[in-house]
Structure 1
Amino acid sequence: MTQSIFNLSGQTALITGGGSGIGKIIAEALAEYGANIAVCSRKVENCVETAEYLIAKYGIQAKAYLCNVTSEEEISETVKRVIKEFGQIDILVNNSGATWGERVERMPIEAWNKVMNVNVTGTFMMSRAVGVHMLERGYGKIINIGSVAGIKAEPGDVLNAIGYSTSKAAVHHFTRDLAKKWAEHGIYVNAIAPGFFETKMTKHVLDKHQREIINRNPLKKLGDPNSLKGTALLLASHASDYITGQVIVVDGGSTL
């Protein structure tokens, strides 16, 4: 019984930014439980490596796609190709993200716009494109990747990225609002808000403040891939069929 509610065999997941970091972690979690995987990003070579790895290890179908989530045209084309080549999209993981570290008074408007365009507008456009398909089918699971930065303000000497923090707070509310709008159509929309994990995006902060961050964490550690895998699997599978509009924090208690 436990296995059956997490079983993703025959389902297809589209994961943005799936070639590395959190996106790759989630792609592997879903592939392990039988999902076919479509990964896309601007760096398609990373996605190709991920797809080949998943095929070899789990024997599922996987394919890489070049897609800039700030381009409405590229999103539309990618979604059409995935549906044509896999048959359907059951799960969407909006993971592509951008950040920019700078003091508020020095942050260029171009940097602000870049972060907002990727993290907020990209999440909206991809959800809309895949959502049309999910609405037609009457089913879908959308998982947005937020952040504890969108829940709790950090001191400037730990995290000085107001565009990123603001964008992730927007992703959290987008999740709740979209869940309310599409619940009656069988579409579940939830978000994961990770704390500090070792990824390319967090490397700069951790290089300077890792010991301080760990000491301030109630569990006294950084996040590990298995923590995110379990949460992603829950939200992608039938185990979460009574959960929607939620932002699940995976942070070792740092936001307490």
Structure 2
Amino acid sequence: MTLKTVLKSVLRRAGYAVYAIPKAGGERRGDYAYAEAHPNATLAPWLTDDDFMQAFEVAKSNTLVDIYRLHELWSLVAETDKAGGDIVEVGVWRGGSGCLMAKKAQLMGANSTVWLCDTFSGVVKAGDQDSYYRGGEHSDTSEAVVSDLAARLGLNNIKTLTGIFPDDTGAQLDASAVRLLHIDVDVYQSARDTVDYLWDRMPSGAAIVFDDYGFVGCEGVTRYADSLRERQDLTYLHNLNGHAVLVKR
């Protein structure tokens, strides 16, 4: 067994995935091509958003999501307020992205609960559609870790549901409307089950964000999100930061 294999095995058991960065010319993985994306745009609105930057400094060690995607989620909290309803995150890990969304909602004075749904024991529902995940990854967390971050951010608008969503905890989510749904579950079936369960509660103007859409190893999520493109009741956008964003018509 090579050192590389041993290191990947150790990191995988700890919940981390290691991938080679695709070469500039790109590489193919099944139906998809991957390459580093370097847009030429230089506008950086997060740098002038003092509230975001202060919250980000507190939360950044509790998330694997980069600042670009985090600021997009922060912004969508405000944009989707027009639709009305609660905010749901499925796939919370250590709470960084979910608590940032909750902080934005709190600062706005929004009458929204932010529901944070996770097994806190790792990825579930990995299957044949998924190229990397096998189950149990990202288990290095707990509900207490999320509660600690929420306390440090001074949040009073979150509810945490522990268990498989929606199988175990869907009935506990009593929101009548969901205006923003952040899906960060890494695998096909979990993403699909989440959308199937919550779609009818989402009003016109509500948004779904697939965090894993643009990343090597998450082809199952990419494949599921792409399967929704032909629907007439939504507008679909792939952001080069890696997100796929669906807006309900």
More helix by share: 1
TM-score (normalised: structure 1): 0.45
TM-score (normalised: structure 2): 0.47
